[in-house]
Each structure stands twice: as C-alpha cells, then as structure tokens.
Structure 1
C-alpha cells in the first residue's frame, strides 16, 4: 500500500471530484475518519490547526472550475464571463468566511513562482482573501497575464 501522503492526495483528488467519503473509504480500504484526517492534514499542513475542511475543498473545486472557464471568458464569450463571475463571487464568499474565522490563507499550490517573489522573500504575514483571489485570477489567466481589473468610464452614456 502507498504511504500516507499518497493516500491523502488520492482521497483529496477523489473528494474534489465529488466522491463521497464512503466511496473513498471503499476505494482505499481505510476508515473514512482516518481519510478525513489525512486530507485535513494535507490541506492545512498542520494537524493542530482547526479550519473548515469542506470550505477549503470547495475552494479547491472552484479553482479547478475557474481555469477552463477563464480561457473562454477572456475571449469574450458571454456565458463564460457570467460563469467566471459566479465562480469568483462564490470564491470571494468562501474566502471571506475563512477570513472572518481568522484562518490564514495560503496561496494556491499551482501558482508559478514567476508570479511573485521567491518563497524566502515573501513576507511572513498571512495572505489576505483579496491577495489570494488576485493570485488565483492571475494563475487562471496565465502566468504572463495581469490580474483582472475593472475600469469604469465616466463618459459611458455619451458613447451611444
């Protein structure tokens, strides 16, 4: 059997794809309670921290959903723009929920190092929900694309 970390990663991947704890338990031949602890440790990096695991799983799911939708949204597809905004709004709600609970937010694991300073140069302060969301947007848009900024035109009504 694989080591605990591999089992945890498999359980996390299955949970993110929507599998129930019972299905994961049957697949790994391990108790669901132990699998939940392994997934929590993997998500949190520390077993003594208490955060809402389901919220973090939802955030991971939304991150995965955002990447393909974002590609079409950048091209101006109205349905994709609408879906991207719904995903981003839901992520904001979840991040606000975690932030109000006092949870420190780590940047997403799949964000390239070119996106910011080297890990040793990063400040020790926790990442704010707004910073986290901006990093996810940049990751979804591609490493070279800037973060999404909305610009309002004061003369918007005069353009007709």
Structure 2
C-alpha cells in the first residue's frame, strides 16, 4: 500500500492505538518503519487542537456557564453565587496558566491577584452564607 493513500495515516493510527508496534504497521502497509511513525504522528496532529484554540473554547464555555448563572446570582441565590465564584476562579486559573506559559509576566501577575481575590471572595461569601443560614 502506498503512503499517499488518504486512509493510510488513519489506518496506521488505528493500528497503533490497538498497540501494534511500528514495525508491524510498516509491514502491513508496505512502508518503512520510519514512514509508519510519520503517518501515526501526522494523523495525531490532525486531531489535535492548538493549545490556544483549546483555551479559547474552554474560556467561552466558562463564560456561557457564568451567563447561565447570572440571573440567579442577581437574585441572591447562594448556590448560584458560589457556583459563579467557582467559574470565575476556574477562568482565572486558566488565564494564569496561559500567562505562566509565556503569554506575558504582567498579565500573569494580574491574573494571580485576580485568583487570590476570587478565593478571598469565595471564603467571605461562604462565611456570610453560613452566618445567614444559622
């Protein structure tokens, strides 16, 4: 089988996922072991999202969650407030991780302070809720 066949990289990937060694994949596809490795690597890259894309999608999901909670937060629902704070903490963590990986130290410092403030606000909100509940 020729490496240029469109389904060969996917077939090589499926074989590798099943634990087939590169030498056996090469034998089955009538290619070199190096080509088998290259095919599997190429097939994996097709399925991967860039880290920036993944981060942006996750941030959009968190924003959508917060938006869904917003009405209940505005009404003072304690559980919604707690969940909203958790979403904000997760968002800040994600942005801080991104900044720490080289997206700018000023941003990272700012986001670390946001994370600290979110943790402090969460603790303060939980303390107030417990006081109200008792």
Fold-level match, TM-score > 0.5?
no
TM-score (norm. length: structure 2): 0.40
Higher helix share: 2
Structure of higher CA gyration radius: 2
TM-score (norm. length: structure 1): 0.35
